[in-house]
Amino acid sequence: MIAKRIKELASSYAPDIIAIRHHLHAHPELSYKEFETSAFVRRQLDAYGIPWKIMADTGVVGIIEGRDPSSRVVALRADMDALPIQEENQVPYRSVHAGVMHACGHDVHTSCLLGAARILAETKQEWEGTVKLIFQPGEERNPGGASIMIREGVLESPKPSCIVGLHVNPQLETGKLSFRSGKVMASADEIYITVSGKGGHAAAPHNTTDVILVASHLVVGLQQIVSRNNNPFAPSVLSICAFNGGYTTNVIPNEVKLMGTFRAMDEQWRFKAHGLIRRQVEAIAKGMGADVDLKIDVGYPTVYNDENLHEIAMASAKTFMGDELVEETELRMGAEDFGYYSQLVPGCFFRLGTGNTAEGITSGVHTPTFNIDENAIEIGMAMMAYFGATIAIS
């Protein structure tokens, strides 16, 4: 009966929640600056009669109590921040903030959780337990809003027995969901290298320390960290993505800066690799006569879906949606700070299909033309509400 009720309410509320998504999409805010978004979320929760508190400056945590509130506690999470991308979509709700866009679907995530919250608040006499709503800032930028909210106690008072989050997937057709057990997404660490030495005239390289050459050897040499040290059956990526140095054709500069990312699926290998990176960088630079400064900014851990919760959630999704609409999520080397939650409590991070090939809605996340088939919002809010009302892990 609760499934039928949730579907009916999701269908009824979908136009309102789509309008909310339009507002959020038109007014994106960057990580840790989600002040207006946070205020908007709080106004919606007030309208639904849901008490809330602020955490991590712009994060919002709401509580909905059903019958017998202490019998089970489930957390539902959505992120709220946008990206520094100039939107190219020509839609009525395109971003009004130059250079800022909801290009990763966090407006969709927030809207779906608000829709789920409205449904759960209206049906709270029809389910048991407590649902904790987590509207989180700063997913797109280290150290990750999840880590800050955890430090401030978001997983306490009450402590959830599990946490569920969703993420848009434009490569999955609207109407479908996908789940994966165990490792789902990679850890992500940022690499910053500064190579310095005596610059000078390019015609007399023997009087200089050629930092361009040293940095070039670093770019090539660092590839051996993964290719010759990592287990080939454990995915890992090291990419140098920025090489900045020099300003003309005949001057060897004093400094070159490199930036990159390191990704891993195994936490033990992850930190072993940090040591290997440092050793390789220092050895190459020293051997070529340059000074080097290396910073590894430790970012998000792997996203790990608890096997037991995965089985429960996937079975619930099939019951709610139908077997043919639930698929397996592919392994991804992208990162998500949901991993902080899933390291501490059983987590389930699933994908919401938002693509529509027939309508040309296929652009990937983090692109200036990203958009969604908004029929997905009704599905996302309904599924999150159903999980909130029914999912339990022993």
**Active site residue ranges:** 81, 139
CA separation for the pair 85, 87 (Å, rounded): 6
CA separation for the pair 164, 172 (Å, rounded): 19
Q: Terminus-to-terminus CA distance in the chain, angstroms?
A: 23
Please check whether residue 42 is in contact with residue 60, taking contact to mean a CB–CB distance below 8 angstroms. yes
Lookup: tokens for 62: 């709401």
**What is the distance, to the nearest Å, from the Cα of residue 18 to the centroid of all Cα atoms in its chain?**
22
Q: Of 393, 392, 391, 372, which is closest to residue 111 (Cα–Cα)?
A: 372
130-136 and 73-79: which strand pairing? parallel
- The CA-atom distances, in angstroms, between 153 and each of 57, 148, 250, 347, 393 are 13, 9, 56, 17, 21
Please check whether residue 180 is in contact with residue 329, taking contact to mean a CB–CB distance below 8 angstroms. yes
CA separation for the pair 376, 177 (Å, rounded): 10
**Over the Cα atoms of the chain, what is R_g?**
23
Please check whether residue 190 is in contact with residue 296, taking contact to mean a CB–CB distance below 8 angstroms. yes
Q: Of 274, 288, 253, 83, which is closest to residue 192 (Cα–Cα)?
A: 274
In this structure, the chain runs to a length of: 394
Q: Which residues, in sequence order, are CB contacts of 185 under 8 Å at separation 6+?
A: 302, 303, 332, 333, 334, 335, 336, 338, 339, 349
177-179 and 182-185: which strand pairing? unpaired
Lookup: tokens for 143: 């150290």
Helices 35-47/106-122 angle, 10° precision = 20
CA separation for the pair 29, 82 (Å, rounded): 5
